[in-house]
Amino acid sequence: MAKRVWPKLVGIAAVITALQLPLFYHYNRLLGASANAVDNITVSPSEERAEQKEIAALKKQYRFVTVSADGQYVAYLDAKNVLHVMQLSNQQEVCAANNPYTVQYVEWIQDERLFVGEQVQPGDLELKTVDVPSGVQTIVTRFEGLAPDASFTKITFSTYTNDIYILINSGMTSALYHIGTMSNVSLVPTGGRYIKNIAITQTGSKLYFEDYADGSFNVLSLDDQGTIRLVKRDAALVAVVGNTLYYGEINDQGLVTAVYRYDASTGNSTLVKTLAAPTLAANIEITDSGGVEVNAPA
């Protein structure tokens, strides 16, 4: 799959560079400001409960329900393929974006933009951004010549360097793409691994990922020199907070039983929390202070 995609990506990258550069310069302003901003918003317990209730209600009715980093907005996709963004404090819609193709993926870029991954047709995927509150859509790049069942699996990015990694899976085959600061699109060599999840460090110097090989789930790291190292076997990638990796020790069913914090400088791991009951890594959230919270299954 990678060999078929790469020649087309070279041409695509060249054609859209003029479009992408203003977009990524905007990222520099947007993400840089967001990283240094102080959040002075105070939410009362009653307001927080009301917002959580609203989010839970949306999840029962819509797909891709996701909350912005500052907790002010929630995005969701309706049955007509329209992406809505609502302000949680007053439950008022701030924008709606009509999507011409089937949406496969939605992810916030901090608080003012969203990534939206669409399937133009089988084997043809498009990544764009949606601006909040204008609803303006901007194409970032397009992937053609993929397998018919290829789909966006995960997008992760650094708020400091604007590096973006895009994971596209097809069956048990994975392709990992990188978009650098100057918007160049490249295919990242991963040795034919099947990759389930990815997360980048805040400074963009290291990518952590979870693969599945020889009957085992494993957590590995990829540095900016392209070197892959094993972090832990029989483990699941939980999250990266700042530059710190959190992974889960898993049982025979692939459920996390305990969460560990990994120190990349020493290669040592520290137990953070033993879970009361085994759960999927997707249900575990790591707070900004490094605490472990287990959410109810969606």
Please report the pLDDT score of residue 51 as a whole number. Answer: 87
Mean pLDDT, range 10-23, rounded to an integer: 36
Nearest 5°: the CA angle 133, 183, 94 is 5
| Number of Cβ atoms within 10 Å of the Cβ of 264 | 17
Please report the pLDDT score of residue 42 as a whole number. Answer: 57
**Of residues 281 and 9, more confidently modeled:** 281
Residue pLDDT, tens place only, 135-176 = 999 999 999 999 999 999 999 999 888 899 999 999 999 999
Mean pLDDT, range 36-55, rounded to an integer: 68
How many angstroms separate the first and last alpha carbons of the chain? 32
CA distance 259 to 286: 10
CA distance 258 to 223: 26
Both tokens of 108, joined, read 């916030």
pLDDT band for 25, please (50, 70, 90 cuts). very low
Task: Point out the least confidently predicted range of 48-57, 74-83, 129-138.
Answer: 48-57
Please report the pLDDT score of residue 39 as a whole number. Answer: 44
Mean pLDDT, range 183-202, rounded to an integer: 93
Residue pLDDT, tens place only, 226-252 = 899 999 999 999 999 999 999 999 999
Both tokens of 170, joined, read 């097809």
Please report the pLDDT score of residue 175 as a whole number. Answer: 97
For the chain, the average pLDDT equals 86
CA distance 39 to 110: 13
The percentage of residues in the chain with a pLDDT greater than 70, rounded to a whole number, is 84
- Give the chain as a DSSP string: -HHHHHHHHHHHHHHHHHHHHHHHHHHHHHHHHHHH--------HHHHHHHHHHHHHHHHH-EEEEE-TTSSEEEEE-TTSEEEEEETTTTEEEEEEE-SSEEEEEEEETTTEEEEEEEEETTEEEEEEEETTT--EEEEEEE-S--TT-EEEEEEE-TTT--EEEEEEETTEEEEEEE-TT--EEEEP-TT-EEEEEEE-TTSSEEEEEEEETTEEEEEEEETT--EEEEEESEEEEEEETTEEEEEEE-TTS-EEEEEEEETTTTEEEEEEEEEEEE-GGGEEE-TTS-EEEPPP-
Please report the pLDDT score of residue 153 as a whole number. Answer: 97
CA distance 50 to 64: 20
| Pairing outcome for strands 268-279 and 228-233 | unpaired
Q: Tokens 């530059």 label which residue?
A: 243
Please report the pLDDT score of residue 8 as a whole number. Answer: 38
Please report the pLDDT score of residue 43 as a whole number. Answer: 58
Mean pLDDT, range 257-283, rounded to an integer: 96
Please report the pLDDT score of residue 289 as a whole number. Answer: 92
Q: Is the pLDDT of residue 2 over 80?
A: no
Q: Is the pLDDT of residue 79 over 60?
A: yes
Q: Which residues pair with 293 in a beta bridge?
A: 285
Please report the pLDDT score of residue 263 as a whole number. Answer: 96
Residue from 144, 203, 159, 179 nearest 19 by CA: 179
Q: Tokens 């460090």 label which residue?
A: 201
Residue from 270, 217, 263 nearest 242 by CA: 263
